[in-house]
Chain A
């Protein structure tokens, strides 16, 4: 469904993403993990059209979408959320989600109904009239999800929707993500919360310093020496020796 080949993106002298490839098949939940600064968000941004890649290509459902504008990629059925939440602060949750719903309809009532339906899917049914600015971190993460979902995507790119949440909230959002997949949406997610990744994703990619260093089931990844090295590094080796 999504095919990323040898994607590279540099900022000045820094190679943020260096020849990364990945595949997402229809119906999967795929995790993308990696230490801080590994280039995960940059890779996401390059896939979703926010950065034009320096090299490599991205194909979505067999169609080359490399460097296409984000709004076109969204209209094609692939939408991203932001790690740093970007709510429309001065308008209500309902209006926030309606912006997503307006992608496929110009009718206000229809968009409103759609927004309310999506809100209850992500557990925001009771917060429709709150302003975007007044949400808690958990609320903002859900709003990111809801807005993206309202555009009716076939592939959802989730950038750390669980960062900053407490265990209860994480449990809730894991359920929400499962439901979304059950409804037929394929999901690629960046995540730091390992417990969530292992419980959600069938396959995991590991990015380190811009390079894809491993791919496999969560169990395979957890025992991969290269991955352990990348995460724990020399300091940990010393601790283990002591």
Chain B
């Protein structure tokens, strides 16, 4: 980022203070909107670590999200586990699915759009499985009994779930930040930029890609459990639906794929659009039938970003020299 380094700490401190004070100052509805911003930024960051930093673009990241959501919910509802205890198990399950998909697709040498498509296929397979196997209760979905106690991972006051989302988002940003300054992160970027050169320079490309997808899968699964605990209901199309995958990819791309703050900035922008268009559709009768209006705006925005701002909104803060064609 091109922000002068002497500004960074004050800027960050102000941001954190504002985020902490925000829910105390606004009505509950806006607290929930804020929670969604951080939550979406969190799952977006999980995508960004694999798709942005390592360049392994996935169209089916929801497979991890759904794995997390179903793992903790099944443990809780069917086996009576405490959801806090089920949470790390859900993350491990998401990581395992990430590991499995990575090993299968990278062993087969899938790259670029082929990898993207295979992830999409995995997500669809999981959705269909969740619809048909008995232990997910199929299309009926799973209901978590409402019992709003903190030790039960349910909160009466939305402010707590807001703070939890904030912490998740902060942790994910720390992970991304760590990637910008560690050997592991440098290797991921090298793989994204040029796999052959990375191999020649001693990088075990396969192993690094498997690692990053495992990490990304575990993070995304944590988001799945969080979501299930917030809404207390999941079904196959919520947990494994394509739209969540798109959302994760979109916030990263809009904000700036491969940047530390990209998913957060993208999430602010997209959640803002989402709420803004909903409000607009409510007061402008002509827009009432354009449902959902936010998708139209998303589409326009994506076209603009791809055409004008390939580095996302973060690109506005950063001067990046124009790419020169290869010699």
Contact of B187 among A48, A79, A99 (CB under 8 A): A99
Bound: A84/B204 CA distance, A: 22
* A135-155 Cβ-contact flags toward B at 8 Å (1 or 0): 001001000000110010000
CA distance A103 to B198 in the complex (A): 11
Residue pair A71, B196 in contact (C-beta under 8 Å) = no
The answer to whether the Cβ of B203 comes within 8 Å of any Cβ in the partner chain is yes
A167: Cβ under 8 A from any B Cβ: no
Q: Encode contact with A along B308-327: 1 for CB under 8 Å, 0 otherwise.
A: 00000000000011011011
Q: Is there a chain B Cβ closer than 8 Å to A60's Cβ?
A: no
Q: Which residues of A are found within 8 Å of B197, using beta-carbon distances?
A: 82, 86-88, 147
Q: Which of A33-71 contact B (CB under 8 A)?
A: 48, 50, 69-71
Q: Which residues of A contact B187 (CB under 8 A)?
A: 99, 102
Interface string of A74-104 (1 = CB under 8 A from B): 1100011110111111110001001110110
Is B193 at the interface (CB under 8 A from chain A)?
yes
Measured CB to CB, the closest approach of chain B to A2, in angstroms, equals 16
Q: Which residue of B has the minimal Cβ distance to A111? A: B183
Confirm or deny: B222 has a beta carbon within 8 angstroms of a beta carbon on chain A: no
A137 vs B326: C-alpha distance when bound (angstroms): 9
Question: A46 CB to closest chain B CB, in angstroms?
Answer: 14
A106 to B186, CA, bound (A): 10
For chain A, the bracket of interface size reads 35 or more
Partner of B190, one of A69, A70, A99: A99
B203 / chain A contacts, CB cutoff of 8 Å:
71, 99
The reply to whether B327 and A140 contact each other, CB–CB distance below 8 Å, is yes
B323 and A89 within 8 A (CB): yes
- Verify B186–A98 contact, CB threshold 8 A: yes
> CA–CA, A5 to B15, complex, Å?
64
A contact residues around B327 at 8 Å (CB): 84-85, 137, 140, 164
A133 to B324, CA, bound (A): 6
Instruction: State whether the Cβ of B182 lies closer than 8 Å to any Cβ in chain A.
Output: yes
Query: Which residue on chain B has the smallest CB distance to residue A134?
Result: B321
Q: Which residues in B have their C-beta under 8 angstroms from that of A151?
A: 201-202
Could you tell me the distance between the alpha carbons of A99 and B194 in the complex, rounded to whole angstroms?
12
Q: Which residues of B contact A147 (CB under 8 A)?
A: 197, 201
Q: Are B199 and A89 in contact (CB under 8 A)?
A: no
Q: With A88-B189, A90-B193, A91-B189 known to touch, is A80 a contact of B321 (CB < 8 Å)?
A: no
In B169-199, which residues have CB < 8 Å from any A CB?
181-183, 186-187, 189-190, 193-194, 196-199
Chain A, residue nearest B197 (CB):
A86
In angstroms, how far is the closest chain A Cβ from the Cβ of B60? Answer: 25
List of A residues within 8 angstroms of B326 by Cβ:
84-85, 89
- B192-230 Cβ-contact flags toward A at 8 Å (1 or 0): 011011111111110000000000000000000000000
Chain B's closest residue to A88 (CB) is B193
Residue of A nearest to B198 (CB): A99
Cβ-based interface call for A113 (8 A): no
Q: Is the CB of B194 within 8 A of A100?
A: no
Enumerate chain B residues within 8 angstroms of A71, measured Cβ to Cβ.
199, 202-205
The verdict on A21 contacting chain B, using a C-beta distance below 8 Å, is no
For B321, the chain A residues whose CB sits under 8 A away are: 131, 133-134
Cα(A164)–Cα(B327), bound, Å: 10
A102→B186 contact, CB < 8 A: yes
B315: min CB distance to chain A, Å: 12
**Residue from the set B186, B201, B205 with the largest chain A CB neighbour count within 10 Å:** B201
Indicate whether A108 reaches chain B with its CB closer than 8 angstroms: yes
Q: Tell me which residues across on chain B come within 8 A of A164, comparing CB atoms.
A: 327
Query: Which residues 92-134 of A have a CB within 8 angstroms of B?
Result: 95, 98-100, 102-103, 105-106, 108, 111, 131-134
B residues 108-139 touching A (CB-CB < 8 Å): none
Query: B182 and A108: CB pair below 8 A?
Result: yes
Q: Beyond A70-B199, A91-B189, A108-B182, is A133–B323 a contact (Cβ under 8 Å)?
A: yes
The 4 A-B pairs of least Cβ separation, nearest first, read A74-B202, A88-B193, A86-B197, A103-B202
The contact sample of 27 A-B pairs, CB cut-off 8 A, is A48-B200, A50-B196, A50-B199, A50-B200, A69-B204, A71-B202, A71-B203, A71-B205, A75-B202, A86-B196, A87-B194, A88-B193, A88-B194, A89-B323, A91-B193, A95-B189, A102-B183, A103-B201, A103-B202, A105-B183, A106-B182, A132-B193, A133-B323, A134-B324, A147-B201, A151-B202, A164-B327
Known: A90-B320, A140-B327; 20 extra A-B contacts, CB below 8 A, are: A69-B204, A70-B200, A71-B202, A81-B200, A82-B196, A82-B197, A84-B327, A85-B326, A86-B196, A87-B197, A88-B190, A88-B197, A89-B323, A95-B186, A95-B189, A99-B201, A106-B183, A108-B182, A147-B201, A148-B200
